[in-house]
Amino acid sequence: MKTAIATVSISGTLPEKLEAIAAAGFDGVEIFEQDFIAHDGGARDVGRMIRDHGLEIPLFQPFRDFECLPEPLRSKAFDRAKRKFDVMQELGTDLILICSSVHPRSLGGIKRAAGDLAELGEIAKERGIRLGYEALAWGRHINDHRDAWEIVRQADHPNVGIILDSFHTLGRKVDRESIRAIPGEKIFFVQLADAPAIDMDLLYWSRHFRNMPGEGDLEVQRFMQAVMAAGYSGPISLEIFNDQFRGSNARATAQDGYRSLIALMDDVRRAEPETKIDMPAIPPRVRAEDVSFVEFAARGSEVETLTAMLRTLGFRNAAKHRNKAITLWQQGDVRIVVNSETEGHAAHVWNTRGLSVCDIGLQVSSAHDTVTRANALGSPTFSQPTGPGELAIPAIRGLGGSVLHFIDGTSGLGEVWDVEFEALPNGKDEGAGITHVDHLAQTMSYEDMLSWTLFYSSLFDMRKSPMVDVIDPDGLVRSQVVESAAGRLKITLNGAETHRTLAGRFLASTFGASVQHIALSTEDIFDTVARMGGLGFQPLPIPGNYYDDLAARFDMPDGLLDKLRAGNILYDREGEAEFFQVYSRAFAGGMFFEIIQRGPGYKGFGGPNAPFRIAAQKRLGPPKGIPQA
Ligand SMILES: O=C(O)c1ccc(O)c(O)c1
Ligand SMILES: [Mg+2]
């Protein structure tokens, strides 16, 4: 299977685009004509530059407004095509995309279009060039791949075929199953794009909002199943017009594209096993079961700040590393690792971000399969030297330099706490009743949200929730949940658009740290809050107005409101399912903890409370005790 991506999908100059596309692992690149024209260098040089990157050019595009013109426009269109054939020959590519005409003078008619394509096909044939005809969803006469196929069928020329583009078919809700009836060898090329479900003008939607397969809401997988079932064996290419991608990091966009394409084709192969897809076998999406540990990088007085906070939450210092400056803090199934090493990954993170989460350990069904799948999707293995008696725990580089470790129940990796750590006598005290990690909240720049969602949902068996808006007094934060289908791993992704929001301030003061808060579960929040109070825990103060409003919104049992108010506990309800949450005050660059009690059946995250929580956090001002960046 050959993979490709259109130059239009990536930001930068042509050389920058090619660099990023080659580095991400693609086999080829569709040359979008504008990118070629804007480049200062001839077609021969561009062709050479592309091949020097190890890339092929499976397609040159687009050629517009060709078919069904009256004379003298018709002859002019043929002349224009011949000039483009010259360029293609110098570039070293044999396939041109002709998109259906939007020309106001185009006469239309299947027969006329077929005649024009057959005639141009004959000219192209002499020069070893092939024509691929694509129905634009907004074409003047042709806007449906079934009509485009009828034209190609009637043109009946070996050098004329159809080009399918998932956006035009799915965006217009054309029956994708009709693709199965097209002979595979007449499909000359396939372009893929997803898009979020937004009701808007097709052209505007296509030119600004396309995204990578799996990032949007179109049924790209079903489309591709039909294409493969038709017997298609050519390149699979991404053609993503997206305003955000045009302005973001070229390498990151190309990597997302590659990840989405491999994950998609793996899904297609599983869903349609009788189709032939020539790509190496990879393990299926891995079951992510739980958070195994969260590791902080901390030094000097920060260690005291962090561990003092952990103590007030009921954690005990359960163990220390046998060879390294690393301690383990535990309560229930929650493990917090505090790493003060001056070398290695934690030290590197501390140098750039200060006190922050440097590593997440996930409990998965198979650590080996997770790394294998991640590698196939373009995430490299992470390793650092292990000392005597230390286990090499499988790990990968996530996004933005992050590191994820994987622990499973079968490979002996779960023993790491006994093997590498020495238990400390100080502790089997009772703690505060915290049982496990409910969720991790990652903060990121809004433009990185699609990348992170794709990262989790392509590697793990996780589903994404719709994106919701969270109101900060100084701006909007977008929030989306990725959640394991089986198991209890939940991650909330929060995208900040301005540095004035609480999330944005955290990003700025930590130079892009990721985990901003850790939500911990208890089965009895009132008991937990009482016990934490005894340990010196200071909750985030919630104003009286909030509780007055609760009384108006919900029918509350006697006495509950007073207990909530006394504990600074926030409340929510979905149907009959109740939800309670209490927040710590912020520490370091704006990190905090949250304690949650989920009543049976409550699926949310206390979203309605978020604006009041954020306002309360901002009222307290920046955290004390840690120097601010
Ligand atoms: O938006 C366009 O004009 C355009 C051009 C070429 C394509 O392949 C396409 O899908 C859209
Ligand atoms: Mg297209």
Q: What is the DSSP string of 228-296?
A: HHTT--S-EEE---BHHHHTS-HHHHHHHHHHHHHHHHHHHHHHSTTS---S---PPPBPEEEEEEEEE
Q: Binding site annotation covers 239?
A: yes
pLDDT value of position 621: 84
Q: Are 520 and 434 in contact (CB under 8 A)?
A: yes
Mean pLDDT rounded to a whole number for the chain: 95
pLDDT value of position 512: 78
Q: Binding site annotation covers 538?
A: no
Give 165 or 413, the one with higher predicted confidence: 165
Q: Are 556 and 471 in contact (CB under 8 A)?
A: no
Nearest to 319 by CA among 306, 303, 330, 307: 330
Q: Which residue has the tokens 């409101």?
A: 561
pLDDT in tens, 7-31: 999 999 999 999 999 999 999 999 9
SS3 549: helix
pLDDT over 80 (residue 629): no
Q: Report CA(2)–ligand 1 centroid distance (Å).
A: 21
Q: What is the CB neighbour count within 10 angstroms for residue 83?
A: 9
Q: What is the CB neighbour count within 10 angstroms for residue 94?
A: 18
Q: Binding site annotation covers 594?
A: yes
Q: What are phi and psi of 282, to 5 degrees?
A: -130, 155
Amino acid at residue number 1: M
Q: How confident is the model at residue 415 (pLDDT cuts 50, 70, 90)?
A: confident
pLDDT value of position 428: 64
Q: What are phi and psi of 414, to 5 degrees?
A: -65, -15
pLDDT value of position 163: 99
pLDDT in tens, 472-511: 989 999 999 999 987 789 999 999 988 899 999 999 888 8
Q: How confident is the model at residue 427 (pLDDT cuts 50, 70, 90)?
A: low
pLDDT in tens, 602-622: 999 999 999 999 999 999 987
* Calpha distance 624→61 (Å, rounded): 57
pLDDT in tens, 545-579: 999 999 999 999 999 999 999 999 999 999 999 99
Q: Binding site annotation covers 517?
A: yes
pLDDT over 60 (residue 362): yes
Question: For the residues 131-137, what does the mean pLDDT come to?
Answer: 98
pLDDT over 90 (residue 387): no
pLDDT over 70 (residue 243): yes
pLDDT value of position 626: 43
* 88's tokens: 């293609």
Question: For the residues 252-279, what does the mean pLDDT come to?
Answer: 96
Q: How confident is the model at residue 628 (pLDDT cuts 50, 70, 90)?
A: very low
* 126's tokens: 């002499």
pLDDT over 80 (residue 411): no
Q: Are 161 and 125 in contact (CB under 8 A)?
A: no
- Kindly tell me the burial class for residue 461, based on how many C-beta atoms sit within 10 Å of its own C-beta (0-12, 13-18, 19 or more): middle
Q: Which atom of ligand 1 is nearest to the CA of 32?
A: 6
| Contacts with 600 (C-beta within 8 Å, 6 or more apart), sequence order | 577
Degrees (nearest 5) of the Cα angle 37, 43, 48? 125
Question: For the residues 266-283, what does the mean pLDDT come to?
Answer: 95
E-assigned strand segments in 13-115: 28-32, 56-63, 95-99
Q: Report CA(33)–ligand 2 centroid distance (Å).
A: 13
Q: Report CA(169)–ligand 1 centroid distance (Å).
A: 13
* Residues pairing with 5 in the sheet: 29, 238
- Which residues contact ligand 1 via a Cβ below 6 A? 61-62, 97, 99, 134, 136, 165, 191, 206-207, 239
Ligand 1 pocket test, candidate residues 5, 65, 99, 162, most atoms within 8 A of CB: 99
* Calpha distance 516→355 (Å, rounded): 11
Domains of the chain: 3-271 (3.20.20.150), 288-423 (3.10.180.10), 434-620 (3.10.180.10)
Question: For the residues 397-418, what does the mean pLDDT come to?
Answer: 88
* Residues pairing with 596 in the sheet: 521, 581
In this structure, which ligand is nearest to the CA of 165? 2
| Contacts with 439 (C-beta within 8 Å, 6 or more apart), sequence order | 481, 490, 491, 492, 519, 605
Interface ipTM > 0.95: yes
